């Protein structure tokens, strides 16, 4: 079997190309697609999620594309000892989704994967389709192990990308709006789908589609430290739920550089470029033009602009958030309804998988 190619430059360029094509086709044929995305309940969502993935999900679901939003609760256990807040974080994620504009329905389904046993059962055959070496070469997993400073890496950490394949394939998701860090995982999912179909579906229609990544225009938002991706667990994020004052205080501490003259130069000035890009995402003005307007205004003016733009962008979302927080029963019901719908889909797929593998008794 040919080995998985994780080369991020190659897969990134290919994913950018494919993303463009999918965008064009989705506009014409929205129901040909099923979107699957998700987040781990390790904390609340931040602006990296918002610009990198959530806005895409809202847009696609509003275009009529069937959309599954999974909360990857099992995945928390791969690199976190703490589990006490999983349930609470799960509900906060739902509040983040709804306040950003996701509207749950027959076609827009939000659920935690621990509530869909038939999806998790795909893990067993899928584990046999991937080699140990392929798992340990995964660059995102390596990066996560390093950044979390894990000493004893559990098997779940190496195998969670296979579990992610279960999440995508159980519902035959074919479009996955993700950030750049997820591309190696998607490559693995595609490989599993292909190997499953090749091995078990010689005499029948293939069970699984080949899912595609859909990258946003900003597939990797840097954290306020300017050195790594913004992440819930790395203390470098602005959360959607932060107050306006908290947002201002966080941005004040953001890293910039010593040059007072502001220019947009992502290669040589990544911290400044990241802030300019964030302003641009809020105001829709090109980052170069914003830089020019700030000129010698320095980091202070740059940060003030971001604070104002971001607080304005997030104001309606934060208002809706406050409303939703008052209604925990509704949030729980969204999850229970979503789990039931996801399960009905998973039961169907698992029975096809069983048939393909000749395990029906
Ligand atoms: P954790 O630190 O717990 O891993 P996270 O912030 O990395 O949390 P995830 O739940 O792992 O968030 O990722 C959810 C989705 O959001 C993925 O599709 C991921 O690609 C996307 N995403 C996360 N961080 C960013 C970012 N900084 N820029 C763009 N997209 C992002
Ligand atoms: Mg992550």
Q: Where are the domains of the chain?
A: 8-218+328-356, 244-325
Which CATH superfamily does the domain covering 244-325 fall into? Answer: Tyrosyl-Transfer RNA Synthetase (1.10.240.10)
* Burial grade of 190 (CB within 10 A; 0-12, 13-18, 19 or more): buried
| Mean pLDDT of the residues in the chain | 95
Query: Rounded distance, CA 297 to CA 224, Å?
Result: 20
Cα(48) to centroid of ligand 1, in Å?
7
Q: Whose structure tokens read 């950490």?
A: 157
Cα(141) to centroid of ligand 1, in Å?
13
The answer, yes or no, to whether any atom of ligand 1 lies below 6 A from the CB of 182, is: yes
Cα(72) to centroid of ligand 2, in Å?
11
Chain centroid to CA 354: 30
Residue 1 binned pLDDT confidence (cut-offs 50, 70, 90)? low
Whole-structure pTM value: 0.93
Q: Which CATH class is domain 8-218+328-356?
A: alpha beta
Phi then psi for 213, rounded to 5 degrees?
Answer: -80, 140
Q: What is the pLDDT of residues 65-112, one digit of tens each?
A: 999 999 999 999 999 989 999 999 999 999 999 999 999 999 999 999
Please tell me the number of the ligand nearest to residue 229's CA.
1
Q: What is the pLDDT of residues 281-297, one digit of tens each?
A: 999 999 999 999 999 99
Helices (H), the chain: 8-28, 47-49, 55-62, 86-100, 117-120, 123-127, 132-136, 139-147, 155-169, 183-200, 244-252, 270-283, 287-294, 298-325, 328-356
Helix (H), strand (E), coil (C) string for 295-331:
HHHHHHHHHHHHHHHHHHHHHHHHHHHHHHHCCHHHH
Residue closest to 251 by CA, chosen among 280, 271, 229, 234:
271
Q: What is the pLDDT of residues 169-212, one digit of tens each?
A: 999 999 998 888 899 999 999 999 999 999 999 999 999 999 99
């Amino acid at each position: 079997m040919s080995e998985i190619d994780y080369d991020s430059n190659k897969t990134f360029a290919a994913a950018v190309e494919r993303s463009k094509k999918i965008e064009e086709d989705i506009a014409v044929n929205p129901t040909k697609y099923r979107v699957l995305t998700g987040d781990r309940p390790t904390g609340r969502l931040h602006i990296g999620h918002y610009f990198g993935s959530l806005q895409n999900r809202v847009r696609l679901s509003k275009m009529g594309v069937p959309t599954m939003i999974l909360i990857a609760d099992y995945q928390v256990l791969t690199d976190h000892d703490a589990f006490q807040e999983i349930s609470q974080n799960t509900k906060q994620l739902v509040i983040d989704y709804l306040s950003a504009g996701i509207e749950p329905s027959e076609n827009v389904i939000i659920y935690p994967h621990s509530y869909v046993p038939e999806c998790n059962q795909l893990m067993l055959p899928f584990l046999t389709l991937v080699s140990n070496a392929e798992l340990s070469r995964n660059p995102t997993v390596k990066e996560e192990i390093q950044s979390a400073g894990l000493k004893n890496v559990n098997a779940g950490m190496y195998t969670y990308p296979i579990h992610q394949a279960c999440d995508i394939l159980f519902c035959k998701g074919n479009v996955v709006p993700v950030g750049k860090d997820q591309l190696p995982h998607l490559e693995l999912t595609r490989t599993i789908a292909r190997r499953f179909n090749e091995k078990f579906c010689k005499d029948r229609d293939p069970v699984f589609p080949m899912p595609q990544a859909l990258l946003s225009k900003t597939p990797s938002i840097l954290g306020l430290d300017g050195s790594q991706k913004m992440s819930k667990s790395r203390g470098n994020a602005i959360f959607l739920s932060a107050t306006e004052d908290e947002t201002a205080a966080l941005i004040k501490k953001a890293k910039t550089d010593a040059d007072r003259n502001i220019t947009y130069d992502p290669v040589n000035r990544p911290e400044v470029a990241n802030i300019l890009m964030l302003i641009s995402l809020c105001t829709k003005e090109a980052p170069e033009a914003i830089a020019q307007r700030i000129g010698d205004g320095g980091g202070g003016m740059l940060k003030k602009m971001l604070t104002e733009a971001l607080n304005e962008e997030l104001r309606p979302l934060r208002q809706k958030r406050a409303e939703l927080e008052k209604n925990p029963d509704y949030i729980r019901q969204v999850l229970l309804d979503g789990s039931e719908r996801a399960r009905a889909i998973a039961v169907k797929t698992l029975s096809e998988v069983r048939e393909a593998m000749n395990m029906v008794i």
